Amino acid sequence: MLDATWLKRLGRRMAASLFCLATFAGSYAAHAQDLYGPLAKSPRTGGTLTMGSLLEPPGLDPFHQGADARIRVTVLMYQGLFYESPNGDATPLLAESYTLSPNKLDYTIKLRKGVKFHTGQTMTAKDVAYSYNHIRDPKNGSPGAGDFGMVTAVTVVDDHTVKITLSEPNVTLPLTLGNKYGAVIPAGYFDAPDAKTKLNQVSVGTGPFKLAEFKPNSNLLLARNADYWEKGAPYLDQINFIFLPNSASMLVALTNKRVDLAALTRPQDVRQVERVPGLKIERWPSLNQKALDLGSEYGPLSNVGVRQAIALAVDKDEIMRASIGGFGQTIGTMVAAMQDRWGVPVTDLPNQKLDIVKAKKLLADAGHPNGLDLNLTTIIGYDWMDPAAVTLREQLAKAGIRLNIQRIDLGVWIKNFQSKQMGLTFNDWATQPDPSLLFYRHFHMTPKGADFRNWKNEAASKLLGDGRAESDPAKRKEIYARFQKELATTVPTIMLFSADHVTVRSDKVQNYVQHPTGWFYGLARTYLAQ
C-alpha cells in the first residue's frame, strides 16, 4: 500500500523536475547530492578525525589571504553561491537556481532559504551583495578582486534574490562565485577594525564546520556546525588538522596511527608507508600543473625559435619520473583533471615530441649555432624542482643549451613573477576546473589579463575573450582547442605534468574523496568507522 506522504513527495519531485525541464534553456537548479562528494549510504556519525598536514595556512581570512593552504581548509567553513564540481560544473550551493538574461549580462540568482551563519544570523541577499561588493572593490585589498573585474554591480532584488551585472558576457561567473574567493559572510562584517585578524579566531561562514581553535605551529580544530543547512551532514564531530613541519614526523605519525588521513607529495614518502598494515594509499587526478615558464623579457627567450627548441629538447616523462617518481601524468597544454573535457590530444599538438636535431637547427636559425647559456630559477622548498632542474639541465645540454640553476626564496620568486621578470623558471600552480579560469589571467594581454610571460599574443588574447563569452560548450571547446594549439606553437610555457593528489588514510576513514583542486571538500562527506 502506498503511503499518502510518499505520494505527495513524489508529486512534488515530479513537478519540480517538469519545472526544471521547462526552464532548462535559461535556468539551472541545484543537485544537492553532487555537493562535496558522494553521500555515504550508512555513515556513522561522530568522532574526531586527525588530519596531518605539512602545510600550515598562513591565515584563515577567505577574502584577503590567497594562499592555497588557506583555501584547502576554509572551504569547510565558508561557502560561495556555487560549488566547483570536479567535472567543471558550477553546482548551486548557497544559490538555489539562477537565470541568465538574453544579452548574457545579468545573472539573477535565487538564494537557498534557511541558511544560517556561524554567528547565528540568517543569510539574506543583503549579505551576498555585501560580500561580493567587498571583494570586488580593489580598495579592500583582496587578491580575488581581479576575478570579479567583469562584475559592474551586485544588487539586492529581494531577501532571497540577487542580481549580478557584468560588463561583458562571462560564462565563468558561477565558478568565480565558488569557494576560492566566493565566500558569503554577514553584511558589515569588515566594518570592525579588527575584523580581518579576528577571522583566525572565529569563523563567520555558513559551511559544515566552524572554527574551534587555530594555534600557530600546532593545530587547527574544526567543530561540526549544528545549524548546517544540509540535513544529516557533516558526519564528523571534529576535524583536527595537525601541522607537522617535516615528512619524517608525518610518516612516523601515520605508521603509529596518530594521524588518520594525510596528503603526501613526495614519492619517497608514499613508498615508505605503502606496506604499512591498516593504511590505504589512493591517487586522485589533479588540476595542478608543474610548468617550465619562458618569460619573453629574458633576452634569448624573446625569440620564438629558441622557445620551440627548448620545447623539443624536453622529455616530460623523464622529468616527471625524476621529480615525483611517476605519481602523476605528463600533459600537453591542459591539466590532467580537465584533459578529457577540454584538452587537445598531445598527438595533435606541435613541439611535444623529443627532437634534438630539429632543436639544434632552430637554435642555429635563431643565431645560436654553438648553443647558448640560460639561467633557470627554481624555488627553495619545492621538492620536485631540484631533481627536475638537474634532469632538465641534462636534457637541454644535448641540444647545446647550457643551463645555470639558481635556487631562490619564494618571496623573491613571487616578486619577480609579479613584476614580469621571471625569465626561465619552473612554476607550480593550480586552477579551478574551467579553461577560462586556467588561461585568461595568465595569458591574456594587459590590461585585461596579466600576461605574466610577456607573450603579447593578440590572436591568443582574442580566443581567450571569445571563450569566456561563449556559453555553448561545443563552441567553447573548439575555441580553447585553437588556443591550446597557439600555446603549443609559440611556447610561452611548457606544461610538464600534473602531480596526482596522493592521500594516505587509515582503515577507519571512510568515504573520503579528494577534490581535484586539492581542497578538502571531501571531509564534509567523510566518516569514521568503528
Partner 1 sequence: MALYLVKRLAAAAVTAILASLIVFVLVRSVPGDVVAQMLGQTSDPTAERALREFFGLDRPMYRQYLNWLSSVLAGDLGVSWTRGHPVWQMIRDALFVTLQVGFMTLLVGTLVGVPLGVIAGIYEGRWLDRFIQSFNLIGLAAPVFWVGLMLLVGVSSLFGWSPPLLYVPPSQSLSENLAILALPIVSLGLLQAAAYSQFVRQNVVSAFHQDYVRTAIAKGVPTRIVFFRHILRNIGIPLVTFMGLILIQILGGTVIIESLFALPGLGRLLLSSIEARDYPVLQGGLLVVVLIAMTVNLAVDLLYRVIDPRVRLT
Distances (CA, A) of 158 to 50, 112, 124, 127: 42, 13, 9, 12
How far apart CA 394 and CA 351 sit, in angstroms, is 19
| Eight-state DSSP code of residue 229 | S
Q: Which residue's CB is nearer to partner 1, number 287 or number 306?
A: 287
Q: Which of 38, 245, 326, 369 binds partner 1 (CB under 8 A)?
A: 245
561562514: which residue's cell?
A: 205
Among 40-48, 77-85, 90-98, 243-251, which window interacts with partner 1 (CB under 8 A)?
Answer: 243-251
Within residues 129-148, the interface with partner 1 by CB under 8 A covers 138-143, 145-146
44 touches partner 1 (CB under 8 A): no
413-432 footprint of partner 1 as x/- string (CB under 8 A) = -xx-xx----------x---
Q: How many Cβ atoms are within 10 Å of 325's Cβ, its own excluded?
A: 17
276 touches partner 1 (CB under 8 A): no
| Eight-state DSSP code of residue 282 | E
Q: Which of 27, 45, 165, 200 binds partner 1 (CB under 8 A)?
A: 200
**430 three-state secondary structure:** strand
Among 7-15, 49-57, 171-179, 346-354, which window interacts with partner 1 (CB under 8 A)?
Answer: 49-57
Residues in Cβ contact with 332 at an 8 Å cutoff, skipping those fewer than 6 apart: 343, 344, 345, 346, 349, 352, 484, 488, 495
Please answer whether residues 77 and 203 qualify as being in contact, where contact means their C-beta atoms are separated by less than 8 angstroms.
Answer: yes
Please answer whether residues 318 and 368 qualify as being in contact, where contact means their C-beta atoms are separated by less than 8 angstroms.
Answer: no
Q: To the nearest whole angstrom, how small is the minimum distance from the Cβ of residue 19 to partner 1?
A: 40
Residues in Cβ contact with 173 at an 8 Å cutoff, skipping those fewer than 6 apart: 107, 150, 151, 164, 166
244 touches partner 1 (CB under 8 A): yes
Q: Which residue's CB is nearer to partner 1, number 254 or number 322?
A: 254
Q: Which residues of 14-31 are buried (b: 16+ CB within 10 A; e: fewer)?
A: eeeeeeeeeeeeeebbbe
Count of residues engaged in binding partner 1, rule: CB under 8 A = 56
Type of residue at 279: L
Which H or E element spans position 410? Answer: helix 410-418
301-340 footprint of partner 1 as x/- string (CB under 8 A) = ----------------------------------------
Q: To the nearest whole angstrom, how small is the minimum distance from the Cβ of residue 59 to partner 1?
A: 4
Q: Which of 33, 42, 103, 217 binds partner 1 (CB under 8 A)?
A: 217
Q: Angle at Cα 490 formed by Cα 148 and Cα 306, nearest 5°?
A: 130
Q: Which residue's CB is nearer to partner 1, number 65 or number 339?
A: 65
278 touches partner 1 (CB under 8 A): no
β strands within 258-322, DSSP E: 261-264, 279-284, 288-294
275 touches partner 1 (CB under 8 A): no
Tell me the Cα Rg of the chain. 24
Distances (CA, A) of 60 to 183, 199, 209: 12, 6, 13
Q: Which residue's CB is nearer to partner 1, number 180 or number 321?
A: 180
Within residues 382-411, the interface with partner 1 by CB under 8 A covers 409-411
Q: To the nearest whole angstrom, how small is the minimum distance from the Cβ of residue 254 to partner 1?
A: 10
Among 157-165, 198-206, 301-309, 368-376, which window interacts with partner 1 (CB under 8 A)?
Answer: 198-206
67 touches partner 1 (CB under 8 A): yes
65 touches partner 1 (CB under 8 A): yes
Q: Which residue's CB is nearer to partner 1, number 79 or number 425?
A: 425
Q: Is 35 exposed, middle or buried (0-12, 13-18, 19+ CB in 10 A)?
A: buried
Q: Which of 129, 199, 403, 494 binds partner 1 (CB under 8 A)?
A: 199
Type of residue at 419: S
Q: To the nearest whole angstrom, how small is the minimum distance from the Cβ of residue 110 to partner 1?
A: 30
Q: Which residue's CB is nearer to partner 1, number 56 or number 500?
A: 56
26 touches partner 1 (CB under 8 A): no
Among 244-252, 326-334, 391-399, 518-526, which window interacts with partner 1 (CB under 8 A)?
Answer: 244-252
Q: Which residue's CB is nearer to partner 1, number 56 or number 486?
A: 56
Biggest alpha carbon distance in the chain? Answer: 87
Q: To the nearest whole angstrom, how small is the minimum distance from the Cβ of residue 419 to partner 1?
A: 10
Q: To the nearest whole angstrom, how small is the minimum distance from the Cβ of residue 185 to partner 1?
A: 15
Q: What is the dihedral of CA 22, 23, 25, 30, to 10 degrees?
A: -120
> What is the binding site for partner 1 (CB under 8 A)?
50, 52, 56, 58-59, 64-67, 138-143, 145-146, 194, 196-201, 214-219, 242-246, 248-249, 252-253, 255-256, 258-259, 409-412, 414-415, 417-418, 429, 441-442, 450, 452
